[in-house]
Amino acid sequence: MSTTEQALFGCPAPFLDEAPVSWICRLALSQASTPEEITKLLGLGGKRDLDVKFSRLSMDWVSDLCGLDRGCFAASHAVLTSYDRVYRQAPEMLLSMEGVPRFRYCPVCLGGQLTAYFPVQWKFATWSYCPAHGCFMENHCERCLAPLVLPRDLGEIVANNREYLSLRNCGRCGNDMSKREPCLVAEFIPMLADWEQMLMTNGRASISAFYHGYLTIKGWRGKRNIKEVLKLRDKGALHFHGYRLDADVVRRRQQTPRAVNTFRSISHPMVRTDL
């Protein structure tokens, strides 16, 4: 089996569930480079989602290029290659700004990481809450309201000196985003309609389905093709275009109780199912 000559040295290994663009940010910092130079080296470009484009590369080639163990991208690659099969029909499942990957985050997760990174599931609109810590995903920096857009340079020139940040810091103001008070799901459940709670559960399950490459659906026999995700979305059992649920949304509802009661009374056509 042919191997690619190693071109980069001292490269950080990706975390098990790390999104490719998160790793690219850390890789660029380790090489005293920029994310733009790294994406050019990898042959990535254009306006389409960089994580999805990265998943179309040979992971063995990338691993050899960076002197990393083959298979280190296996988990995120599995999720993204499965999603790529429905990418054109379901772009709304990804968070993005003009084709640039955007993320939401769990402040508790960020605070507990020795090296801050963004898991691949944080880029999906269907991942509305963190099951590990029971809190809704945060949409932006609390201080300056900047969205979380990657890739970005983790080295900045401040007062003629280069300061190094981590992905725990806001890319605009440098705020430590892990310090934000988490928006706990248990406290806001009364503000959610039943169908919204179902979307939360199915949204989490959809990431598992992408990882495994197939669906198993309660009440249906056997394994289903991953493209069945599109049918579930169209029937209202998954995140759909124009719908959003995160910490900002539920906090606003808390401030307007009348709107909460109105929203909870809205019916929603759906297939009640768990993936």
| CB contact at 8 A, 170 and 189 | no
Euclidean distance between CA atoms 96 and 8, whole angstroms: 29
Domain assignment present for residue 107? The answer is yes
pLDDT score recorded for residue 254: 85
Q: Are residues 170 and 87 part of one domain?
A: yes
Domain count, the chain: 2
- Residue 158's pLDDT is 47
Residue 207: domain span: 188-264
Residues 172 and 192 both lie in one domain: no
* Predicted confidence band of residue 160 (pLDDT cuts 50, 70, 90): low
Please tell me the least confidently modeled range out of 56-65, 114-123, 146-155.
146-155
For the chain, what is the mean pLDDT?
88
Average pLDDT over residues 44-60: 90
Q: Which two tokens stand for residue 116?
A: 């801050």
Please tell me which of 75-84, 151-160, 183-192 the model is most confident about, judged by mean pLDDT: 75-84
- Smallest Cα–Cα separation from 271: which of 238, 243, 240? 238
Same domain, 48 and 137: yes
Q: At what angle do helices 257-264 and 247-255 cross, to 10 degrees?
A: 110
Instruction: Let me know whether 47 and 125 are in one domain.
Output: yes
pLDDT of amino acid 6: 78
Please report whether residue 162 resides in a domain: yes
Contact 139, 245 (CB under 8 A): no
pLDDT band at 272 (very low <50, low <70, confident <90, very high): very low
In a domain, 14, yes or no: no
Domain boundary among 179, 207, 238: 179
Q: Which residues contact 93 (CB under 8 A, 6 or more apart)?
A: 83, 86, 124, 125, 126, 206, 233, 239
- Of 179, 196, 218, the position where a domain reaches its end is 179
Q: Given pLDDT bands bounded at 50, 70 and 90, which one contains residue 219?
A: confident
pTM: 0.90
If asked whether residues 169 and 98 sit together in one domain, one would say yes
Q: Are 235 and 271 in contact (CB under 8 A)?
A: yes
Question: Three-class SS of residue 81?
Answer: helix
Distance, CA of 114 to CA of 59 (rounded, Å)? 25
Give the three-class secondary structure for 64.
Answer: helix
Read off the pLDDT of each residue in 21-34 and give the average, rounded to a whole number. 95
Same domain, yes or no, for 161 and 204?
no
Mind listing the pLDDT tens digit for each residue in 118-142?
Answer: 999 999 999 999 999 999 999 999 9
In a domain, 253, yes or no: yes
Residue that terminates a domain, selected from 179, 204, 234: 179
Least confident of 79-93, 174-188, 208-222, 258-272: 258-272
Q: Are residues 25 and 128 in the same domain?
A: yes
Domain membership of residue 192 (yes or no) is yes
Report, as an integer, the average pLDDT of 55-63.
97
Q: What is the pLDDT of residue 98?
A: 74
Q: How far apart are CA 42 and CA 214, in angstroms?
A: 29
- Regarding whether 210 and 86 lie in a shared domain, the answer is no
Residues 76 and 165 in one domain: yes
Express each pLDDT in 235-251 by its tens digit. Answer: 888 877 778 899 999 99
Clarify whether residues 193 and 166 are in a common domain: no
Is residue 205 pLDDT above 90, yes or no? yes
- Kindly state whether residue 4 falls inside one of the protein's structural domains: no
What are the structure tokens assigned to 77, written together?
A: 């690659």
Whether residue 41 lies inside any domain: the answer is yes
Residues 140 and 30 in one domain: yes
Residue 258: the pLDDT is 57
Residue 263 has pLDDT above 80, yes or no: no
Say how many residues make up the chain.
Answer: 275
Cβ neighbour number for residue 114 with a 10 Å cutoff: 5
Q: Are residues 172 and 198 in the same domain?
A: no
Average pLDDT estimate for 175-193? 95
Q: Give the model's pLDDT for residue 57.
A: 97
